[in-house]
Amino acid sequence: MSTLSDLVHAQGRLNDADVEWLHRLSGDGQLIADLAFADIVIWVATADGSFVAVAHTRPSSAATLFYRDIVGDQVRPQWRTQVQGAFDSAQIVDSSSPDWFEETPTRVRAVPIVRERTKDGEVPAVIGVLTRHTNLNDARTPSRQQITFNECADDLCRMIATGEFPDLSAPTSPRRGAPRASDGLIRLDVDGMVTFASPNALSAFNRMGFDDELEGESLVEVTTRILPSTHQVDESLPVVVTGRAPWRTDMEARGVTVSLRAIPLRDRGTRIGAIVLCRDVSELRHQEQELITKDATIREIHHRVKNNLQTVASLLRIQARRTHSDEAREALTQAMRRVASIAVVHDTLSEGLAQQVDFDEVFARVLKLVAEVAAAPNTRARTQSTGRFGVLPSEYATPLALALTELVTNAVEHGLAGQEGFVTIDAVRTESNLRVSVADTGHGLPEGRVGQGLGTQIVRTLIQGELGGSIDWHAANVDGAAVGTEVTINIPLRWLNK
C-alpha cells in the first residue's frame, strides 16, 4: 500500500511543507477519531479534479464505518460535492441530511485543511480536506463525556480549518505510552480551571493522592498539592497543566507516574482553553527503568570482561618475555594478540547502550595492534584499509575481529617476512553480504598450498562455523602477475536483517 507521501507526491500539487503538515495531522488522526466517535479520512485534490484518500483512521471509541481501508481510493460520488465545497470555500461543510453508506445512516462533516493562517477577510490556501464520518446507528442519548469529547473534536476541526492545528511547535515523536483520549481527558478553560474530567483522568489523579473532584479546581493548584516538595519537577510541567503550550511531560507522586499532553484550544488566534490528556504509565516507566538498568549492567559486564582480557594479555606478554624458548615465546605472543583483539570489541561495546559496534572503528584499533606486535625486526609492513564494514552486532564483531587479526598477522609474519611490503584490507558491504579481502605483496603461497597451522584453523572455524561464511586463499594479481597472497571472506548478513 502506498504511503501518505507517495500518494500526495503522485498528484504533484503540494510541496514538502504541505506534506509535512498532512503527516502531522495524520499523526493526530486517532485523537480526532476518538473524540468525534467517527472515522477520519484525509483527502487531497488530484490532477483530474477529483480527490484521493491519503489517510484513514478508525475510532477506538465507536464502530467503524469502513471495514476495508479506503486509502488510495477516489472520493465517492455522495461525498464529492461536500468535499469540493469545503476545498473551494475554505469553510466547514456539514451534510444537510443523513448520508447512507452501505445501508448505514451516517453524518459527514468536511473540514478544509489549511496550513498557513491568513488575515481576516482573506481566503486561505487549502491543501486538503478532512472528512468526519459518524455512524448514526449508534445514536443514543449522549453522556456528558461524549458531549464533551464531541465539543473538543469540533474545536480541533475549527482549528484545522484556520491553520491552527496541528501545532508545529509540538513534539513530533511521542514517547512510548503517549496518552490517548480514552486514557483520560481533562478540559480546561482559559484560566486553567477544570471544566470536565473523564473518569479515567480522575482515577489517575486519585492514584497520585488527590482525593477530591477535579472539576472546578485549578489544575496547577492540584498538581502543586500532590507533588512531593522534595521531588524535582520537570520545568515543562507548569506549561502543560495550564494548557498554554502543546507539550508533553510526566508527573510522579506516591510511586505513580502519569503522562500528560496539553493541546491548547484557540479560536482565530485567541486561546479559549485546552485539552489535557493523561495516562497512568507507571508500569511502562518501570519497564523502561529496568531496561536502562539492564543496559548499564551489560555495559559494566563488557567493561569488566575487557579489563580481565587485558590483564590476561599482559600476563601472556610478561610470560613471553621471560621464556627462553623461541617457539614458546611465539605461541604466547600470538595468544596475547588474540586475547587483545577480543578485548577491543568488548571495550567498544562497553561504551554504548546497543549491543552493536562500529566495526570500522574496532578494526582500526585491531589493525594498529597487529601491526605493532607482528612486525619482526627485518620486516617493514605497511597496512591500509579501504571500504567500510559498517555497524555489526557483537555476534558478528567478535569472531570477525579475531579472524582478521589472524589473517593480517599471517600476512605480516609469513607473507612479508624479511622484506618490505603492503597489506591491504578491503571491505565491501551490501544489504545481504559482507565481502572482505586481505592481500599482501609478499612471498605468496608456497606451491599454492594453504597453511595448516593453528591460525588457519582458527580462521576457518570462525568464518565457516560461527559466521556461516566462506573463505578462499589464492594468489594476488597485480597487473596480471601473481604477487603475494589474497584471502577473500564472504559473510552472509541474512541473520542481521531479520
Q: Is the model's pTM score more than 0.75? A: no
pLDDT of 482 higher than 60:
no
What confidence score (pLDDT) does residue 33 get? 96
Phi, psi (degrees; rounded to nearest 5) at 291: -65, -40
What confidence score (pLDDT) does residue 498 get? 45
Grid cell digits, residue 449 = 598450498
Domain pair 4-161 / 181-280, same fold = yes
Phi, psi (degrees; rounded to nearest 5) at 446: -65, 110
**Residue in this structure with the C-alpha cell 471495514, named with its chain if needed:** 67
357 DSSP assignment: E
- CA nearest to 460, candidates 406, 395, 385: 406
Fold observed for domain 181-280? Beta-Lactamase (3.30.450)
pLDDT tens profile 128-176: 999 999 988 876 778 999 999 999 999 999 999 999 999 888 776 555 6
pLDDT of 497 higher than 60:
no
Query: Regarding beta strands 126-135 and 38-45, do their DSSP bridges make them parallel or antiparallel, or are they unpaired?
Result: antiparallel
Percent of the chain with pLDDT over 70: 84
Q: Which CATH number fits domain 4-161: 3.40.50.150, 3.40.50.300, 3.30.420.40, 3.30.450.280?
A: 3.30.450.280
Domain boundaries along the sequence of the chain: 4-161, 181-280, 283-354, 370-498
Domain 370-498 has CATH 3.30.565.10: yes
Top-ranked range on mean pLDDT: pick from 189-193, 467-471, 484-488: 189-193
For CA atoms 335, 337, 341, 346, give the dihedral sign: positive
pLDDT tens profile 208-240: 999 999 999 999 999 988 987 766 667 788 889
Which of 19-23, 282-286, 314-318, 371-375 is the least confident region? Answer: 371-375
